[in-house]
């Protein structure tokens, strides 16, 4: 019985726990059982915290028992007893936070990230930390020092990255939901590859406190689940102003579920011509166009738009993000952070700690970013990139004067083979070509499944919205998922 519980939605889990059909302990054990069966093939996790999760499940069961005695079951927290996984770039107190790197291999976090604490306060049970590209630098979860994660739909293929462990865990029904981070597409791209729903909220909507920094002006924390409505539930709990994060926005957080059923009649859906480029997998292009027609049939108005500076987004991103990473990763020196690798002089310790602790991709980006920030090149590279970033942001602002939502592909291809881009960094960077503009502009984006290709691999679609108007995206996804069943499909492991 317990294994079957892993196929319930979060809302069904909530109802079952409240009605007493099963306990929090049974729900947890069902997911742990599934993890133990499939984890050797998927490698979605870096760390499991089974015993603390069992302790929390027992506490949650006691709360349900006590609430039933006084008829206050409806007053219990929304996520009480629901198991959730957290990307290993996000801190959970007293749990290892490796960031997928040797340099932080055994670092135990002294505090819990604000957004994760909100989920814990809502009753969620943390089940473990998921695999990630090292310091979130990658699009395949292959750069992790702990080995790659594999796509549950085809274990010869990648799950996307850098939040590939979180996406794979949700797709494989190891957890009903997982938390990830998105600097240039690291939630949306894995969501598309793994056939789940993933939301990157507006920059500042969810606190970054406790998210180990990669690109501070680009990083966002978000969530994966099987449907848009479940993702809306999670983001609504995670979001809000946080005094511990100076970039956290003082914006009221709507009840995303309250109006999610409102439908999309009169929704203005923009289709940017720049996103249907040469080289995109034809099945993806055709499926996205079919999905746009589905929106037309549901009452949306389809409007062709232009985001003219899109072609500059990739080079702009790969100047700004590495530059910020170069500064953020300077702290891993064997003194403040980092597994010290030398007993020689201080300069030897710096070189040995960083040389042996960082992987190839992280070193590549640190060197690129350091060069872009160096004297004599700052204005020509980093400074110029920031100017073009402003133009990209203005493209979105102008587009949103005439449309409510922008629809486009998430990725140029479906999930590629493990190792396929291993010797070609540029090919890997191109995987984010459709997702990183949202990070540069600070707008929210959500990816969700809309079909499969000839290899039965998921195809995802992306919707982007006005800043701090995630509510509109959730409504649009809900309308699509109520009229289709793609989000209900799962891999036959």
Number of neighbouring beta carbons within 10 Å of residue 261: 11
- Out of 87, 102, 129, 200, the active site residue is 87
Please pick, among 23, 101, 139, 162, the residue that the annotation labels catalytic.
162
Residues, the chain: 493
Is residue 162 among the annotated active site residues? yes
DSSP result, 284-315: HHHHHHHHHHHHHHTTPEEEEE--TTGGGHHH
What does the alpha-carbon distance between residue 234 and residue 282 come to, in Å, rounded to a whole number?
A: 34
CA distances for 369 relative to 125, 311, 324, angstroms: 38, 21, 7
Nearest Cα neighbor of 478 from 235, 181, 231, 285 is 231
Contact status, residue 200 vs residue 439, Cβ threshold 8 Å: yes
Q: Which of 186, 207, 248, 291 is catalytic?
A: 186
Is residue 87 annotated as a catalytic residue, yes or no?
Answer: yes
The dihedral over CA atoms of 221, 370, 337, 183, expressed in degrees to the nearest 10, equals 10
**Closest CA relative to residue 45, chosen from 8, 82, 95, 6:** 95
The Cα 148–Cα 209 span in angstroms is 27
Residues labelled catalytic: 87, 162, 186
């Amino acid at each position: 019985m317990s294994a079957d519980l892993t196929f319930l939605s979060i809302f069904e889990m909530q109802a079952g726990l409240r009605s007493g059909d099963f306990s929090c302990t049974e729900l947890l054990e069902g997911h742990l059982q599934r993890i133990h069966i499939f984890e050797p093939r998927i490698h979605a996790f870096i760390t499991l915290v089974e015993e603390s999760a069992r302790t929390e499940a027992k506490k949650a069961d006691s709360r349900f028992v006590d609430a039933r005695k006084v008829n206050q079951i409806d007053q219990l927290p929304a996520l009480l007893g629901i198991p959730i996984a957290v990307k290993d770039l996000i801190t959970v107190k007293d749990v290892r936070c490796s960031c997928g790197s040797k340099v932080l291999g055994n670092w135990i976090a002294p505090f819990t990230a604000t957004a994760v604490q909100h989920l814990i306060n809502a009753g969620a049970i943390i089940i473990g930390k998921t695999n990630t590209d090292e310091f979130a630098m990658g699009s395949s979860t292959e750069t992790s020092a702990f080995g790659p994660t594999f796509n549950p739909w085809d274990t010869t293929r990648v799950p996307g990255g850098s939040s590939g462990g979180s996406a794979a865990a949700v797709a494989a029904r190891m957890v009903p939901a997982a938390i990830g981070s998105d600097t240039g597409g690291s939630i949306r791209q894995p969501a598309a590859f793994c056939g789940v729903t993933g939301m990157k909220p507006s920059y500042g909507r969810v606190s970054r406190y406790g998210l180990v920094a990669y690109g501070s002006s680009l990083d966002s924390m978000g969530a994966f689940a099987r449907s848009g409505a479940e993702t809306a539930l999670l983001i609504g709990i995670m979001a809000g102003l946080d005094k511990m994060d100076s970039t956290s926005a003082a914006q009221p957080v709507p009840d995303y579920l309250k109006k999610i059923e409102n439908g999309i009649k009169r929704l203005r859906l923009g289709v940017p011509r720049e996103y249907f480029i040469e080289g995109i997998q034809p099945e993806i292009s055709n499926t996205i166009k079919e999905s746009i027609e589905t929106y037309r049939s549901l009452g949306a108005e389809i409007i062709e738009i232009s985001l003219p500076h899109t072609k500059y987004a990739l080079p702009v991103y790969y100047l700004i993000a590495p530059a910020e990473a170069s500064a953020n990763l300077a702290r891993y020196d064997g003194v403040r952070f980092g597994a010290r690798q030398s007993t020689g002089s201080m300069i030897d310790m710096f070189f040995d700690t960083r040389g042996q602790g960082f992987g190839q991709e992280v070193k590549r980006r640190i060197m690129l970013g350091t060069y872009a920030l160096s004297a004599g090149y700052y204005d020509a590279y980093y400074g110029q990139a920031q100017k073009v970033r402003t133009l990209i942001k203005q493209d979105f602002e102008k587009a949103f004067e005439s449309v409510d939502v922008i629809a486009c592909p998430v990725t140029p291809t479906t999930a590629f083979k493990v190792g396929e881009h291993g010797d070609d960094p540029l090919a890997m960077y191109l995987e984010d070509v459709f997702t990183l503009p949202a990070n540069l502009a600070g707008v929210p984006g959500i990816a969700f499944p809309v079909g499969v290709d000839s290899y039965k691999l998921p195809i995802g679609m992306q919707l982007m919205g006005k800043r701090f108007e995630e509510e509109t995206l959730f409504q649009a996804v809900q309308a699509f998922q109520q009229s289709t069943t793609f989000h209900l499909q799962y891999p036959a492991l």
